[in-house]
Amino acid sequence: MIQRIQSIWLLLAAICISCLLFLPMVKSNLIGGEFYIIASGLYQKVGGINKLIESYLPLLISVSAVAIVCLVNIFNFKRRKLQKKIAYVSIVLMIGLSFWCSVYAKNIPGGLETANYDTGMFLPPLAIALCLLAIRGINRDEQLLRSADRLR
C-alpha cells in the first residue's frame, strides 16, 4: 500500500536529495565576496546579489534524476522485490553523487582549505540512511506477508 512506512522514507530521501538544488554544499569567504556551491553551479554573493560564475549542468541533472528515482520508487509498492532493488540502485547513485559533489567542491575559489562544509554535504548520507530504512520497511512487509501465507 502507498501508506506504508517505506513510502514515507523514500519521500523523505527524495526531499533530501532535491534540497541539494537549493542548499549550499560548500561556502568560502574571500576578499572578493562569499562563494558557494549548489547543484546548479558556483555562485558569488557580493552585496546581497547572487551571481552565477560557473554552471554545473551535469550535477544538476544527476541530482534531479536521483530524486526522481526515489520519488518514482514510492509507486512500486505492489512489487516489493523491484522496489527493494531500485532502493539499492538509488543508494549506489547517491554514493556516486556524494563523490561527484565533493569533486565539484574542490573547484571553489581558495580551495577546500578555506572553505566551510555546509548543509548540502550532509544531505546525501542522510538520504542513504533514509533509503536503508525504506529497505528495512520493505523487508518487514515481506515477512508479514510470509507469515500471513503460513496461517492460511
Q: What CATH number is given to the structural domain containing 134?
A: 1.20.140.150
- 152 part of a folded domain: no
The answer to whether position 137 is within a domain reads yes
Q: What is the gyration radius of the CA atoms in the chain, in angstroms?
A: 19
Rounded to 5°, angle at Cα 101 from 25 and 103? 120
Region class of 54: left (phi > 0), else alpha (psi between -120 and 50), else beta: beta
Please, what is the average pLDDT of the chain?
86
The answer on pLDDT for 3 being more than 60 is no
- Confidence tier at 151 by pLDDT (50, 70, 90): low
Instruction: Kindly tell me if the per-residue pLDDT of 2 is higher than 70.
Output: no
Grid cell digits, residue 74:
514510492
What's the DSSP call for residue 23?
S
Q: How many domains does the chain have?
A: 1
CA distances, 21 to each of 2, 38, 64, 75, 77 (Å): 26, 6, 8, 23, 27
pLDDT digits (tens, 9 = 90+) for 60-119: 999 999 999 999 998 888 888 898 999 999 999 999 988 988 888 888 887 777 788 888
Does some domain include residue 61?
A: yes
How high is the pLDDT of residue 131?
Answer: 94
Q: What's the pLDDT at 7?
A: 87
Q: Residue 68 and residue 54: Cα distance in Å, rounded?
A: 25
Instruction: Identify the domain containing residue 67 by its residue range.
Output: 5-147
Residues in the chain: 152
| Residue 98 within a domain | yes
Whether residue 109 is contained in a domain is answered as: yes
The verdict on residue 60 lying in a domain is yes
The verdict on residue 132 lying in a domain is yes
